[in-house]
Amino acid sequence: MLDIFLKIFEILFPSHSSVRLLKTETPAKFIRLFSIQHFANCITLSSYSHPIIRSAINANKFHNNNHASKLLAALLQTWFNTLPNKPTIFVPIPLSSTRERERGYNQVTKVINLMTNNEKILIKNLLVRIRDTKPQTKLIREQRLINLINVFEYKNTNLELSNYRVILVDDVITTGSTMKYAYNVLKQNLPKECEIICIALSH
């Protein structure tokens, strides 16, 4: 009976195409798309040009789709499992307060929260956006390179971070400017012994 109601609901309120494409994907199947590349001092975990990756990114970012978030968390978990054991803090690239209020969530934080060993993971918002900016996707390359100058500010914490690995995470990297400016702020404020790794879920 429940299946019938679900089918009727899907007919009346069809899922977005990006969500529909992911229906047959499982985390175990999805990690076949895991592919490490290096771009602009950042490690990327998959190719945004792949339609399933693109669908997962968009469904997570714009449709708050939990299934897509879990799939992307599998990519991040797969990479994280390759690292030596060390105290680690994940730092999601922050949204502006306006955009996060409109969206209701930070899509990167949501992915990190769904990693399978979540109880061992610390998530800290060590960065804040101090002003709103135009979305990077709506700008040409030259504009993207300067759009985020002086937009990030370090948020102090009482944690002693010298022995920590800090992983700065974004969902998509294009020109690398977002990651560059965020990294620079962390580098200027964290202890010099602190290891900082930049990760993008896709490129």
Who contacts 11 (Cβ-Cβ below 8 Å, separation ≥6)?
none
User: What are the tens digits of pLDDT across the range 85-128?
Assistant: 999 999 999 998 888 999 999 999 999 999 987 677 899 999 99
166 close to 136: Cβ distance less than 8 angstroms: no
The identity of residue 159, as a single letter, is: L
Question: To which residue do tokens 């994280």 refer?
Answer: 80
User: What are the backbone dihedrals phi and psi of residue 21, each rounded to the nearest 5 degrees, phi first?
Assistant: -65, -20
Q: Report the range of poorest mean pLDDT among 21-30, 38-47, 102-111, 143-152.
A: 143-152
SS (H, E, C) the chain: CHHHHHHHHHHHCCCCHHHHCCCCCCHHHHHHHCCCEEECCEEECCCCCCHHHHHHHHHHHHCCCHHHHHHHHHHHHHHHCCCCCCCEEEEECCCCHHHHHHHCCCHHHHHHHCCCCHHHCEECCCEEECCCCCCHHHCCHHHHHHHCCCCEEECCCCCCCCCCEEEEEEEECCCCHHHHHHHHHHHHHCCCCCEEEEEEEEC
- pLDDT of 9: 35
- In angstroms, the CA 71 to CA 56 distance is 7
Helices 51-62 and 66-80, axial angle in degrees (round to 10)? 120
pTM: 0.87
User: What are the tens digits of pLDDT across the range 57-70?
Assistant: 999 999 999 999 99
60 close to 69: Cβ distance less than 8 angstroms: yes
- In angstroms, the CA 105 to CA 91 distance is 15
| Higher local confidence (pLDDT), 147 or 195 | 195
Place 7 in a pLDDT band, splitting at 50, 70 and 90: very low
